[in-house]
Amino acid sequence: MAASRTRHFLDRDPLLDWLDRFGEERGFVKDTDLDGYDPRTDLRTLILERGKEFEDGVVGLIGQRLETVRIGEGWQDARDLAAAARTVAAMREGTPVIAQAVLRDPSRLTYGTVDLLVRSDLLDEIVPETLDPEEARIGAPGIGADGWHYRAVDIKFRTLQLLKDGAAGGSLLAYMAQVWVYGAALGRIQGYTPSAAYLLGRSWTQGKERGEGCFERLARVDQDHTSSDQRTLEEQVLEGLAWVRRVRQEGPSWHVLPEPSVTELYPHMRHAMDAPWHTAKVAIAAELSELTLLPAMNPERRASAHRRGIRGWDDAQATAETLGISTPGFAAKCDAVLAANRPATTEAVLPARLAAADPAWREPAPLELYVDFETVSNINDDFSQLPRLGGQTLIFQIGSGHWGKDGSWTFEQWTVGRLQEADEAAVISAWVASIERLRAQRGLTW
């Protein structure tokens, strides 16, 4: 089984595994097959494209520093025994960096293609201060290496969240599981299991610190990592692998509607990285009155609610208290959402009486603007600045509306011609100029 197959399970949205395998034959339609689908607006496609370009750019820069040999050329090579043999041969030769290295672990029936295998004695030449010198000199008897071994590094097109000690944060659990599988396979091959594998991202955050490039820090994934619930990473990986095998064996007899035949088929609606099944999940959630549609609900609270006999948000017993939401702010929000969606509700807008931000709305200002900014992130990076973080976060559209003295509504909109700072400045200037005209018309001063 591929190392990446545990991702949905560890993201706590295992329904996606069942949909991947049986969704279409059960009548569910992928987002990409829906009427009106436009690939130009598909964020997932853009991320995949940029991810591949980022990986190629990183490997190219590393190749300028250290000899690099590439093994795999496509996803098909991950299951190729010959590619796995070429990987082992490159390891025995002591190649400094092996890109797209194919690893297999018969003991766990797993395989995969890791972006980089890097010799421990050379890892600091890519990212300084990654590995203690003494640990870097540990040998690998399985490949005849005296004084060094290989470590797995997987490249991710994202900013990595690091804990205080440099370990990968919990939000990276699915990626952590993937490189754990690589580390275990690597240990079997080289006769020494490294204490950690690594994730290399576009940049990093650590507390209040923010990185500016991909070679500044790696996210460390300890092979003996234990989560806050005291489960080891190995245990979670094995659970994920067991789930995928169960889907393959038992999934044909399962159903998701009118009620899931197994608890794992309830959708996790707080998990947004669900392409290409987002629309299908929304439809399933609507049919089920899915609890994770509510604020602060997660699969753990849902499971607890199910044990109490509360299966959906439309159950009269469902309240923040019975659902286990104790934080005051979240509890109030949850109860408000439930109240707004209960059949007895007759109000068009809730709450019927505002009790907060009183000074802000009670006395109308001489001129009030309702403004919306549309932005693009730095995801559209051309990687010309590698290893530094590239791309540009920009405002590309501004919409501004106001009420006239006669009660009429006026709305204006400004959109950039090109995604560049000069055009952003132009639309901001145009919007500010419109405000100045309104002020002049109404005789207002700052």
Q: Examine the pLDDT at 339 and tell me if it is beyond 80.
A: yes
Q: What pLDDT does 345 receive?
A: 66
Identify the pLDDT of residue 202.
97
What is the C-alpha end-to-end distance of the chain, expressed in Å? 66
At 347 the pLDDT is 76
Percentage of the chain exceeding pLDDT 90:
88
**Confidence band for 444, pLDDT divided at 50, 70 and 90:** confident
Beta bridge partners of 198: 153, 220
Taking only the tens place, the pLDDT of each residue in 23-33 is 999 999 999 99
pTM: 0.89
Q: Is the peptide bond before 260 cis (omega within 30 degrees of 0)?
A: no
Residue 112 has pLDDT above 90, yes or no: yes
Neighbouring residues of 73: CB distance < 8 A, sequence distance ≥ 6: 100
pLDDT of res. 358 = 66
Predicted confidence (pLDDT) per residue in 342-384, tens digit:
877 677 777 777 777 666 677 778 899 999 999 999 998 999 9
Please give the pLDDT value at position 354: 73
What sign for the dihedral angle of Cα 79, 85, 89, 91? Answer: positive
| Averaged pLDDT score across all residues of the chain | 95
Give the pLDDT of residue 65.
96
Residues above pLDDT 70, as percent of the chain: 98
- The helix (run of H) or strand (run of E) holding residue 382 is none
* pLDDT > 90? residue 92: yes
Q: Of the candidates 119, 111, 187, which has an alpha carbon nearest to the alpha carbon of residue 153?
A: 119
Helix (H) or strand (E) holding 380: none
Model pLDDT for residues 10-25, shown as the tens digit of each residue: 999 999 999 999 999 9
Instruction: Return the pLDDT at 402.
Output: 96
Q: Give the per-residue pLDDT at 445.
A: 81
CA–CA separation, 313 vs 307, rounded Å? 14
pLDDT in tens, 180-228: 999 999 999 999 999 999 999 999 999 999 999 999 999 999 999 999 8
At residue 170, the pLDDT reads 86
Cβ–Cβ < 8 Å for 99, 87: no
- Please give the single-letter amino acid code of residue 74: G
Q: Residue 297: is its pLDDT beyond 90?
A: yes
Give tens-digit pLDDT for 374-423: 999 999 899 999 999 999 899 999 999 999 989 999 999 999 999 899 99
Q: Across residues 123-129, what is the average pLDDT?
A: 97
Instruction: Give the pLDDT score at 40.
Output: 86
Give the whole-angstrom CA distance, residue 399 versus residue 369. Answer: 10
Parallel, antiparallel, or unpaired: how do β-strands 150-161 and 196-206 relate? parallel
Please, which residues bridge with residue 116 across strands?
99, 153
